[in-house]
Amino acid sequence: MHKLKKILKALLKIVAVLVILILILVVIFKIATKLNPPEIHDSIVENLERTTIDSNFYSIDNNWLQKNDKGLWEMYIEGAAYERGIINGKLSKELIYKQENAFVNQIKVMIPSDRYLKFLKSFIAFFNRNIDEHIIEEYQQEIYGISQSASNQFDFIAPNYHRILNYHAAHDIGHALQNMNLVACTAFSGWESRSADSSLIIGRNFDFYVGDEFAEDKIILFCNPEKGHNFMIVTWGGMIGATSGMNDQGLTVTLNAAKSDIPYSAATPVSLVAREILQYASNIEEAYEIAKKRKMFVSESLFIGSAKDGKTAIIEKSPDNQALFETDKDFIICTNHFQSNELKKDEFVNAQICEYATTYRYKRVEELLDQNKKLNVENVATILRDQKGIKNENIGMGNEKAVNQLIAHHSIIFRPEELKVWVSTSPFQLGEFVCYDLNEVFAKAEYIKESIILYKDELTIPADSFLYSTYYNNFIRFKDIRYEIKDAIKTDTRIPDEAFIFNEVIALNREFFETYVFIGDYFNHFEIKDKAVLAYKKALSKEIPNIFQRENIKEKIDKLKK
Which of 267, 269, 205 lies closest to 242, judged by CA?
269
What is the reported pLDDT for 247? 98
* 3-state SS assignment for residue 180: helix
**483 and 459 in one domain?**
no
Q: What is the b/e burial string over 31-64, where b = at least 16 CB atoms within 10 angstroms of the residue's CB?
A: eebebebbeeeeeebeeeebeeeeeebbbbebbb
Q: Which residues, in sequence order, are CB contacts of 68 under 8 Å at separation 6+? A: 74, 434, 453, 454, 455
**Tell me, what amino acid is at 174?**
G
536 belongs to a structural domain: yes
**444 and 486 in one domain?**
no
Domain that holds residue 480: 470-561
**481 and 458 in one domain?**
no
What is the reported pLDDT for 126? 58
What is the reported pLDDT for 257? 86
**518 and 391 in one domain?**
no
Q: What is the side-by-side order of every strand in the sheet holding 251-257?
A: 51-54, 57-60, 63-67, 73-79, 219-225, 231-235, 244-247, 251-257, 300-306, 311-317, 322-325
**495 and 458 in one domain?**
no
Q: Distance of CA 548 to CAs 101, 348, 513, Å?
A: 32, 13, 14
pTM over 0.85: yes
**168 and 106 in one domain?**
yes
Mean pLDDT for each 10-residue chunk of the chain (562 residues)?
Answer: 60 50 37 67 89 94 97 98 97 95 78 63 63 90 96 86 86 57 81 98 92 89 98 97 98 90 76 98 98 92 98 96 97 96 89 92 98 98 98 97 96 98 97 98 96 97 98 98 95 96 98 98 97 98 95 96 85
46 belongs to a structural domain: no
**324 and 231 in one domain?**
yes
E strand map for 310-369: 311-317, 322-325, 331-334
Domain boundary among 468, 499, 517: 468
What is the reported pLDDT for 322? 97
Domain boundary among 468, 499, 524: 468
**475 and 330 in one domain?**
no
380 belongs to a structural domain: yes
Alpha carbons 266 and 132: distance in angstroms, whole number: 9
Alpha carbons 514 and 511: distance in angstroms, whole number: 9
27 belongs to a structural domain: no
Alpha carbons 235 and 240: distance in angstroms, whole number: 7
**340 and 255 in one domain?**
yes
CATH code: domain of residue 503: 1.25.40
Alpha carbons 462 and 468: distance in angstroms, whole number: 12
What single DSSP character describes residue 129?
T
Alpha carbons 470 and 401: distance in angstroms, whole number: 22
Angle in degrees, CA 511, 335, 434, rounded to 5: 85
Task: Report yes or no: 316 and 323 within 8 Å, Cβ to Cβ.
Answer: yes
Burial of residue 344 (number of CB atoms within 10 Å: 0-12, 13-18, 19+): middle
What is the reported pLDDT for 20? 44
The strand pairing partners of 221, in sequence order, are 75, 233
**Tell me, what amino acid is at 187?**
A
Count of the separate structural domains present in the chain: 2
H or E stretch covering 45: none
H or E stretch covering 234: strand 231-235
Cα-Cα-Cα-Cα dihedral of 346, 347, 351, 357, to 10°? -130
Which of 254, 217, 210 lies closest to 236, judged by CA?
217
Residue 226 exposure: Cα atoms within 13 Å on the Cβ side: 10
Could you tell me how far CA 255 lies from the centroid of its own chain? 9
82 belongs to a structural domain: yes
The strand pairing partners of 435, in sequence order, are 422
518 belongs to a structural domain: yes
47 belongs to a structural domain: no
**231 and 186 in one domain?**
yes
What single DSSP character describes residue 250?
S
Q: Which residues, in sequence order, are CB contacts of 167 under 8 Å at separation 6+? A: 100, 103, 238, 239
**292 and 319 in one domain?**
yes
317 belongs to a structural domain: yes
Domain boundary among 468, 490, 514: 468
CATH code: domain of residue 351: 3.60.60.30
**550 and 442 in one domain?**
no
